[in-house]
Structure 1
Amino acid sequence: LLAQTPMVRLVQGDVGSGKTLVAAAAALDAIENDYQVALMAPTELLAEQHYHTFRDWFEPLGLSVAWITGKLTAKQRRRQVENLLLGITHIAIGTHALFQDSIEFQQLGLIIIDEQHRFGVQQRLRLREKGRQGERYPHQLVMTATPIPRTLAMTHYADMDYSIIDELPPGRKPVKTVALANERREEVITRIHQACLQQQRQAYWVCTLIEESESLQCEAAEDTWQTLQAALPDLQIGLVHGRQHYDEKEQMMHAFKQGELHVLVATTVIEVGVDVPNASLMVIENAERLGLAQLHQLRGRVGRGDAASSCVLLYQPPLSKTSRKRLETLRKTNDGFQIAQVDLALRGAGELLGTKQTGDMRLKVADWVRDQHLLPHVQQAADKLMCDHPDVPLRLINRWMRNVETLISV
């Protein structure tokens, strides 16, 4: 932040490692120097959680925090826009609503993007343009909890500086993970009953489907919710899924955070950012159908308090070789970077980084998994080439790479 050129930095930290605190420190530094801050999150749920967190931290310091959402009334929205333009608002938090044309800042100095892999490059650039002053651009702090092997991240995010938070806060205990066949479902329900009533703990029950259909996933969640209500009549059980009205979803999440619900049945809508320290048990249905990164993200919703936490991966046998390897990896480690390494070997770089369809990761000779130890040397050679022979890289790009114009503009 002290440099003369705008910072573009990727901060990669495992789930629960404290990335939000890093973002808050950077935001305070920008505000202290009379700049405004924009924080963009991928979902309304996560944006609102960030809003409450930053409001609790910043308002006692006399700083104004605004939540920009598509659900504001016309009058509320007009006031928010005016406050940003006049510089009254110090930090604006929101989803895609932040880069709409009507949102303008007086002096945007720092952009924080959470879970950046969920936003396209163009969306990031549009937000950056809002802070442009002549030839000067705002700083960008990009955060992700999606585990990516270090060497691969150095290449895929070559336009960014790169920081890693590889430790969890003191007192955090690793989550114990077990994989159980679906026939043992009744045992799991009994375990939840004991944890909630005898230990005063809370639990998540996550419903997944292999189909991308949100409606089918929501139906599965509703069926599970009814089944658990019948099996556990003395527990308070809530339901959250993507097709609920926002207010209904927020009311349910609030009740769970306040400890009014014992169990929350949910779809993967809770994958990112939900923080309930008293929730120490998670059950994931059809775990064999999810990728390693998503399973690791979901598991990160528990283990946020002082109590020992558990994650139960329910699967439908027989397991394929790949599914068995995924579940085995999660049982053995809580380290997101180790998990990323296995994920890379199982899926390849294109799928892991979401670039498979673009062809960017298809190499003729090199292999991302086999040759990853060479990537730091490749980066050093590229830096030297840029420095000593600045005309050569463009000729190499034109010779070997497609979509050159798009690549350069990014």
Structure 2
Amino acid sequence: MVRRLAQVVLALAVAAIPVVVTTSPSEARPSYGLSVPSVFSPNGDGVQDSVRVRYTVPEPTRVRLEVSRAGRGKGRVVRKVDLGWKVKGTYRWTWDGRNEQGNRIGEGLYRVTLALPDGSGVAGDRVKADTSFTAELSSPVHGERGARARVFPRSTEVADAVELTAYSGEKRLESLRLVISNAVGKVVRDADVDELLLTGGGYRYGYGRTVAWAAKRGGRPLPRGSYTAVVTGRDKAGNTGMSAPLEVWVSGDQLVWKETTTTVTPSESRVGVCAYTTANGCGEDHPCGQVVPSALFEGGLSYRPAACVPADPDRSDAATSRHMLEVPEAAGVRGLGAVRVSFVGAPTTAGGPDTGTLSVPGTTTSTVHGTSGESAWVEGPAWGEGLVAAYNVPHRAPAAVWDFGTSGTDSVDVASFTVDVRYLVVAD
């Protein structure tokens, strides 16, 4: 009896010892897997209309897949599919880009999920449904409201051309072309414009380039009349599209240079520092000096530097102002070609050594120091093309723009500015 009891106790003790089962790496159970391509184009054009989903099951499993929105409307399920029981292995399912109702899905981001028996799921990478192609085409109007693009190929004083700027923000571009046709649809210019566009920091922001079209073939001007320019393109998903058409008028007239001189007082020509910009924060760090009516010259201004109170490291003691002279006659053609500005003034305190600084911005900036002086001719003046009305900026004709100021202990009064402008006009 005692011996039998001992055998039972020994058996119970052995049963209580935990059993550890080890598995070699080659025997480790594989995990569920799901792989989805990054983009497809379910628009019915026969190119990349479907996407092939690859999934792996490590054991006999009933496979259910769900497709849901991953961008706007995130989480909303648009398609469910029950693929039945699958033994261990890797399989593929092709999604035709249609939802539960059999309709093609809209453009956007989607995610495919493999639903597991325990209620969890394995989510694949996002897939983009890319169903459209966009392109833009523009041309400067040089400050003229509602102006159409014009080119003057018969000009002899200047080799005229109209700038046509093509752009597409597509990230996976295959081709982008500028096509110009005459009134009966015959193509007169076909240019490849799919150049990669980079910011100063090296970031890609699209494709395109500017084409200067002279409306000539074989060195001879094209016939006078209306021509149509469009940008056409195709992305790597197979989507095609085109810009809105842009009318270009090929003129039978010629352009000639014209030069005018206008004298203005500082008071009448002064504009706000933000008159030609939509930049956020414009004027926040404006210098602390004062620009007040001159006691020496009627219509003049007196530039009087002053230290900031309290001290502000972001602001200087300078006294500055911006000035402008619009030239409406230059609107709609090519804007201003060049600007030259001179000024006449005197130290605020007679006999003093004080000087001011005139600055005329353009392709290069001309700067003059003194109480009187004249800038060099500045080509490509800063606002010579005018401004099309935009957020927070009014519509403006082409204009000469310049700045004047003093700093430190220099205080100057300016009596007048004389502005020379050079621009193209249609010959009489």
TM-score norm. by structure 1 comes to 0.23
Higher Rg of the two aligned structures: 2
TM-score norm. by structure 2 comes to 0.23
Considering fraction of residues, name the structure with more strand: 2
